[in-house]
Amino acid sequence: MIQFKEDFLEVFLQTAVERHRIYIKKEKGLPKPWTEDVVFRDFFFCNLFRQYDKCSKWIIKNIVPYDRWDLLMVYRFISTYETFKRLELILSPRIDSLEEIEECLEQWSKHGKIFSGCFIRNPSTSQGAVQTYRAIFQVIRDMKKDGWSEDGSMKGWYLTSLERMCRNLKKYTGIGGFMAYEYACDFAYTGYFNPTDKDTWANMGPGAKRGMSFLLYGNAYHNIHPMDWLEYARDLLPILRGRIKVEFPNDLYYLVVSMREVEHWLCEYQKYKKYHNFLQGGDKVKHRKYDGRSNT
């Protein structure tokens, strides 16, 4: 087993635990501040568990029951809670109509912002660059021409691998590694895609790579080959799972800790290190300020 730098590993584990404690306090309706950690109070961080993020919770509740890969891809591409609520208000109960969703996005794009800045959306398609909101609909048309079910049904799916699913998705112009992994993880919320490699494989993004570099070398700049990263991440999985089990003994959160959580928290951990450096007077960083200090 790889030897991680103990002091960096401890911060990785402590921050994962603290972020989940914040989530629990918020869900209970407790008043701010939910933490004494100034980094978590002053900057945005995702939850340790993806399924507890606001957009994922909405998708799981409202879109997953349709068991449609095309709908899941559209809503994950949007990934903007305010836009979800607008679509729900205007289209309900027709939030499963791709045509009407596209029409709404077209109209709203003329008058303001329809996407959050949570990630960069690729406007490239097989037909060239298009307006960003149109890109996902062209990707879906390409996929259906290529044999994916015309009605979006997932019945009869035979794949049982996140890695292979991501590889299949990346064949289509406009889908890179990040979004392929996002879509694949959403597919796994349904009963038709049950990956057997969730504890052995994850997509390594640049943030997760930097996070692993901290754990191994004490800095964010060491180059790590993807296959080596996977090996190290597999070693990290039982360590993270074990800490979650110890810190939340009356709950079963540890049972759902997978390589997804390892990859995800490595990314958030390197953000934490960056923002901590910022607050200590180090180099300025791009950041999203968050008021986690009070309810006023």
The predicted structure's pLDDT at residue 293: 63
Q: Which residues pair with 250 in a beta bridge?
A: none
State the number of CA atoms in the 13 A half-sphere of 227 facing the CB.
0
Instruction: Kindly state the average pLDDT of the residues 25-36.
Output: 96
Contacts 24+ apart (CB under 8 A), 93-99: 95/62, 95/63, 96/63, 96/66, 96/68, 96/71, 98/70, 98/71, 98/74, 98/137, 98/140
The predicted structure's pLDDT at residue 119: 84
Over residues 55-71, the pLDDT tens digits come to 999 999 999 999 999 99
The predicted structure's pLDDT at residue 118: 82
The predicted structure's pLDDT at residue 2: 85
Task: Identify whether the C-beta of residue 180 lies closer than 8 Å to the C-beta of residue 166.
Answer: yes
Token pair 């049950």: residue: 194
The predicted structure's pLDDT at residue 288: 55
Element (H, E) at 216: helix 206-217
Amino acid at 34: W
Q: Give the other-Cβ count within 10 Å of 158's Cβ.
A: 6
The predicted structure's pLDDT at residue 164: 98
The predicted structure's pLDDT at residue 287: 53
* 92 pLDDT more than 80: yes
Q: Report CA 22 to chain centroid distance, whole Å.
A: 18
Amino acid at 25: K
Q: Give the other-Cβ count within 10 Å of 121's Cβ.
A: 16
Which tokens is 129 given? 């660059």
Among left, alpha and beta (phi > 0; psi -120 to 50; other), residue 30 is beta
* 195 pLDDT more than 70: yes
Q: The pTM is what?
A: 0.92
* Of 195 and 118, more confident: 195
